[in-house]
Chains A and B, each alone.
Chain A
Amino acid sequence: MADHLLLGFQLFFQWKVLLSMVSGVSTGIVIGALPGMTVVMAVSLALPFTFYMEPVVAISFLLGIYKAGVYGGSISAVLIGTPGTPASAATIMDGYAMTRKGLAKKALDMSLYASVISDFLSDIITVLAAIQIAHLALMIGPVEFFTIIIFSLTIIAAVSGKSLIKGLISGGLGLLLATVGMDSLYGVTRFTFGNINLTGGFNIIPVLIGLFAIPEMIMQLKEKKLHPEKTTIIDTDVVVSTQENRITWKEFKGVFRTILRGSIIGSVIGIIPGVGAAPAAFINYSRSKKVSKHPEEYGSGSLEGVAAAESGNNGVCGPTLIPLLTLGIPGDKTTAVLLGAFVIQGLTPGPLLFQKHIDIIYGIFIAMLVINVFVFGIGKIALKWAARISHVPKEIMFSVVFILCAFGSYASNNLLFDVWVMVIVGGVGYLMLISGLPQAPFVIAFILSPLFENGLRRSLIMSQGDLTVFVTQPIALAFILLTLFSVIFIVWGKKKESALPEEE
Chain B
Amino acid sequence: MDKEIKSNLVLAVVLIFFSVLLLFVIIPSQINEPGYIKSKYLSPAFVPRVFTIYLGFIALVLFFRSVSHLKKSSSKKESQSSEIETPTEAGLQGQWIAVFIWISCCFFILAVEFFGFLIPSILFLGALMVFFGQKKWLLVLSIMVLVPLLLYLFLHDIAQVQFPKGIFFS
Q: Residues of A at under 8 Å CB distance from B?
A: 37, 41, 45, 165-166, 168-169, 172-173, 175-176, 179, 183, 185-186, 188-193, 214, 217-219, 221-222, 224-226, 228, 393-396, 398-400, 402-404, 406-407, 410-411, 414, 416, 419-420, 423, 426-427, 430, 435-437, 449, 452-453, 456-457, 460-461, 464-465, 467
Contacts and interface: CB of A to CB of B under 8 A. Distances in A.
Interface in B88-106: 90, 93-94, 97-98, 101-102, 105-106
Contact of A416 (B102, B112, B132): B112
Given A169-B55, A185-B42, 4 more contacts: A218-B102, A396-B143, A406-B109, A411-B155
Interface in B77-120: 90, 93-94, 97-98, 101-102, 105-106, 108-109, 112-113, 117
A172 B97 contact: no
A176 B164 CA distance: 31
A395 B129 contact: yes
B65 A410 contact: no
**Chain A to chain B: the 6 pairs with minimum beta-carbon distance, closest first:** A395-B132, A172-B55, A183-B44, A399-B128, A188-B44, A465-B39
Nearest to B163: A410
B54 A175 contact: yes
Interface of B: 4, 7, 11, 15, 22, 26, 30-34, 37, 39, 41-42, 44-45, 47-48, 51-52, 54-55, 58-59, 61-62, 65, 90, 93-94, 97-98, 101-102, 105-106, 108-109, 112-113, 117, 121, 124-125, 128-129, 131-134, 139, 143, 147-148, 151-152, 155, 158-164
B106 A423 contact: yes
A399 B133 contact: no
Q: Is the interface of A mostly helix, strand, loop or mixed?
A: helix
Given A165-B58, A218-B101, A411-B161, A225 B151 contact: no
B40 to A, nearest CB: 9
Q: Is the interface of B mostly helix, strand, loop or mixed?
A: helix
Nearest to A174: B51
A172 B51 contact: yes
A255 to B, nearest CB: 34
Contacts of B97: 221-222, 225-226
Given A400-B143, A461-B42, A436 B132 contact: no
A436 B101 CA distance: 20
Contacts of B163: 410
Contact of A407 (B30, B52, B117, B131): B117
A233 to B, nearest CB: 13
A332 to B, nearest CB: 21
B102 A403 contact: no
B59 A176 contact: no
A457 B34 CA distance: 16
Given A179-B51, A457-B41, A191 B26 contact: yes
Contacts of B47: 179, 452-453, 456-457
